[in-house]
Amino acid sequence: MHFPIGFLVRNADSIPLTYNTHYLGRELPKHLSKIINNKSWILIYPEQELWFNYRKPRPLAKGAYYYAAKLNVPIISCFVEMQNRHSKELFHRQFYKQKLTLHILDTIYPDPKLTISQNTKLMMQKDCKRQIK
């Protein structure tokens, strides 16, 4: 990547994503495996799972589970729970102040006996069941 965005990506330890299927299927796993080989963590933040002021579990996207299955690494899921407080916002009286609780769930490991597709579905199902409880 060139120009200011390229500078940020190269110097902020981030990997750009795109809708390009060739990049997502072939190039991105190469970048991810280099990071994993260096014993580093990867944070995948699926923006399409973030809906403003939405309090129910969101429909999961399979991307992070696919890469975990492909690279045979575990997933540690996190989600934020929003609860209303009894007091209202100072300058927006129609809204209650929010209490945010970060939930860090148990680790989900891929099964080396299953295919990438089977692992992706299984890990996603396990994660979905845990968030609904």
Q: Which domain range does residue 111 map to?
A: 44-133
Tokens of residue 83, six digits: 């609860």
Please check whether residues 28 and 7 belong to one and the same domain. Answer: yes
Please check whether residues 62 and 13 belong to one and the same domain. Answer: no
Please check whether residues 84 and 68 belong to one and the same domain. Answer: yes
Please check whether residues 54 and 98 belong to one and the same domain. Answer: yes
pLDDT, one tens digit per residue, over 75-110 is 988 877 778 888 887 777 777 777 888 888 889 999
Please check whether residues 15 and 57 belong to one and the same domain. Answer: no
Where in the chain does DSSP place strands (E)? Answer: 75-88, 96-108
Counted domains in the chain: 2
pLDDT, one tens digit per residue, over 20-70 is 888 888 888 888 888 888 888 887 766 656 566 666 666 788 888 999 999
Record the pTM: 0.70
CA distance 125 to 93: 40
Please check whether residues 66 and 120 belong to one and the same domain. Answer: yes
Please check whether residues 73 and 124 belong to one and the same domain. Answer: yes
